[in-house]
Amino acid sequence: MQAYRFGLDLTPGQERNLFAHAGAARVAYNWALARVKAVMDQRAAERTYGVPDDLLTPSLPWSLAGLRKAWNQAKAETAPWWGEVSKEAFNTGLDALARGLKNWVGSRSGKRAGRPVGFPRCKSRRRTTPSVRFTTGAIRVEPDRMHVVLPRLGRLKLHESARKLARRLDNGTARIMSATVRRDGGRWHVAFTVEVERAERRPAQPGAVVGVDVGVKHLAVLSTGELVDNPRHLVAAQNRMRALGRALSRRTGPDRRTGRRPSRRWERAAARLGRAYARVADLRRDGLHKLTTRLTREHGTVVVEDLNVTGMMANRKLARHIADAGFAEIRRQLAYKTEWNGGRLLVADRWYPSSKTCSGCGAVKAKLPLSEREYTCEACGLVIDRDRNASLNLAALAAQFDTAGSGPVAARGADRKTRIRRQVAVKREPGTTPVGQTGTVPPQGRTTHRALTKAH
């Protein structure tokens, strides 16, 4: 499955039609959520009265099919205008609620990993992102490749050519499964979910291994010696965003306590600020895609770290810079692009001391503060940039993995203790590789290697 996303150039009438479809999805969502909560409260109240379980009010199914059946029975009274929009609009809202309820149940029962998920809440007309998803009906790309056709919306003009998607459709190597229209950053986009028949590919250098150490000073430091600059798009746009934020604060905005609606000037100022943030996100996304595509097409094996990005964001001095770099997005893109290009992605253990280990002799330091930007080995005397040293250690880990298979691979087992390893240096001639015997010396005390001790 692959997604193709294009911007739309809509007429005022088409934009009003899209807002109507997104509003219909919100209405169906809120109605179904109110019904679910009413049934839950009623059954809970009846239990307090001592009503047996077999005599309780019948429960409402939380599946998409059950919610859709209940909606079809009540839509004539609840939404007498239901025939003016596509049925896919109501299906979009009901499907979103079914997914939210499923995630809530899975989170409470422990079947769903990640952060706890709360019970779904009602969607607001002013705060909800307008979106509608089409899964049936006429969904196609026009022969001119500058227009698409969607059910009940008709022919919509694209902002850019859809030639890449059209070529696959014409060759029979792709099939459109669904189309989602969404308003993001003041602009409407259409995203096609496509089932693709992908040809087998091989990287340009199948046997090449590259270690990627991501950071803030440099977006990525490669084991090949290449330094990828961090463009810092958010920092570059900070002055403009401050000015737009001050202009927004001077307008009459909404007030939920008094029910005051925002002024037109406030809405225009909020739209300008939203477009500025959307531009930063687009620039960041474009740069990360170019970097990850190049790495996966050139190298057969890519080695990265399993970083605790959530824990690193707890550092208030680096949180904004870490979020601007997009560490998690780099790994996510590398995961599927290595599969597309016939390579493999190796993920080092989260507690592997890549920055503390000497890439020359293998000695491990007990501590390495963030302020030390150069790694100096006390055993062999190697002096090297700490990020370059970490990337070399990551690349060396590829020899410990099985060469078969592709995609993310579980890393070697490492615990939270950093054990000091000292290299017994042997006298050598200048210009030769240091040799010696490596031994493990138990540390004098416990040293915890946190994610924040790594320099980024």
339 in active site: no
Q: How many whole angstroms separate alpha carbon 10 and alpha carbon 49?
A: 56
- Give me the sign of the Cα torsion angle 122, 124, 129, 130: positive
Q: How many whole angstroms separate alpha carbon 359 and alpha carbon 386?
A: 10
Of residues 88, 95, 324, 387, which has the active-site annotation?
A: 387
Q: What pLDDT is attached to residue 354?
A: 87
pLDDT tens column, 247-265? 999 999 999 889 899 999 9
DSSP label of 114? S
Q: How does residue 360 score in pLDDT terms, banded at 50, 70 and 90?
A: confident
DSSP label of 398? G
CB 408 within 8 A of CB 347: yes
Q: How many whole angstroms separate alpha carbon 62 and alpha carbon 33?
A: 10
Structure tokens at 230: 């961090």
372 in active site: no
- Judged against a pLDDT cut of 80, whether residue 140 lies above it is answered with yes
Q: How does residue 100 score in pLDDT terms, banded at 50, 70 and 90?
A: very high
Q: Which of 45-49, 394-398, 423-427 has the lowest mean pLDDT?
A: 423-427
Q: How does residue 446 score in pLDDT terms, banded at 50, 70 and 90?
A: very low
Of residues 213, 226, 298, 329, which has the active-site annotation?
A: 213
- Judged against a pLDDT cut of 70, whether residue 428 lies above it is answered with no
Mean predicted lDDT score pLDDT of the chain? 86
Q: Decide: helix, strand or coil at residue 69.
A: helix
pLDDT tens column, 106-138? 999 999 988 899 999 999 988 899 999 999 988
Q: What pLDDT is attached to residue 235?
A: 92
- Judged against a pLDDT cut of 80, whether residue 305 lies above it is answered with yes
Q: How many whole angstroms separate alpha carbon 348 and alpha carbon 308?
A: 12
- Judged against a pLDDT cut of 90, whether residue 39 lies above it is answered with yes
Of residues 305, 306, 324, 374, which has the active-site annotation?
A: 305
> Which residues fall within 8 angstroms of residue 354, CB to CB, at 6 or more apart?
213, 305, 348, 389, 390, 393, 394, 454
Structure tokens at 207: 């046997």
213 in active site: yes
Q: How many whole angstroms separate alpha carbon 190 and alpha carbon 162?
A: 11
Residue 52 phi/psi, 5-degree rounding, is -60, 155
Q: How does residue 402 score in pLDDT terms, banded at 50, 70 and 90?
A: low
Q: How much of the chain, in percent, has pLDDT values that exceed 70?
A: 88
Q: Decide: helix, strand or coil at residue 207.
A: strand
Q: How many whole angstroms separate alpha carbon 90 and alpha carbon 253?
A: 31
